[in-house]
């Protein structure tokens, strides 16, 4: 299966995924993160950042940038699971 889109073939995108993958791998090795495929998770993280940037550009009233950053961080660090009381 081939991936369509020039973004996935660009050096910039590949560098972002590689650097992010290295950071995730270090987190796994140190015990900070659970065992995951660093490259796959890095690609998901980078693409989620791109998606939020696109939404911000298309929105008439984008959220505060720090709020968007916190949302992405919380989703990746804690998932969607509802906190138990």
pLDDT tens-place string over residues 13-56 = 999 999 999 999 999 999 988 899 999 999 999 998 888 888 88
Whether 10 shows a pLDDT value over 60: the answer reads: yes
Does a structural domain hold residue 67? yes
Confidence class for position 3, pLDDT limits 50, 70, 90? low
Evaluate whether residue 45 is within a structural domain.
yes
Angle between helices 38-58 and 65-78 in degrees, nearest 10: 150
- The parent domain of residue 19 ranges over 7-78
How is residue 3 written in tokens? Answer: 């991936």
Q: Model-level pTM?
A: 0.76
Q: How many domains does the chain have?
A: 1
d(CA 66, CA 76): 15
Phi and psi for 55 in degrees, rounded to 5? -65, -40
Q: Is residue 38 part of a domain?
A: yes
Confirm whether 84 is domain-assigned: no
For residue 54, is it within any domain?
Answer: yes
């Amino acid at each position: 299966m081939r991936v369509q889109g020039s973004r996935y073939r660009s050096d910039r995108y590949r560098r972002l995924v590689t650097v992010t993958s290295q950071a995730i791998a270090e987190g796994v090795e140190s015990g900070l993160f659970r065992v995951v495929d660093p490259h796959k998770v890095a690609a998901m993280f980078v693409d989620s950042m791109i998606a939020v940037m696109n939404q911000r550009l298309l929105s008439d009233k984008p959220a505060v940038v720090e709020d968007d950053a916190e949302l992405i961080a919380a989703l990746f660090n804690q998932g969607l699971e509802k906190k138990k009381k």
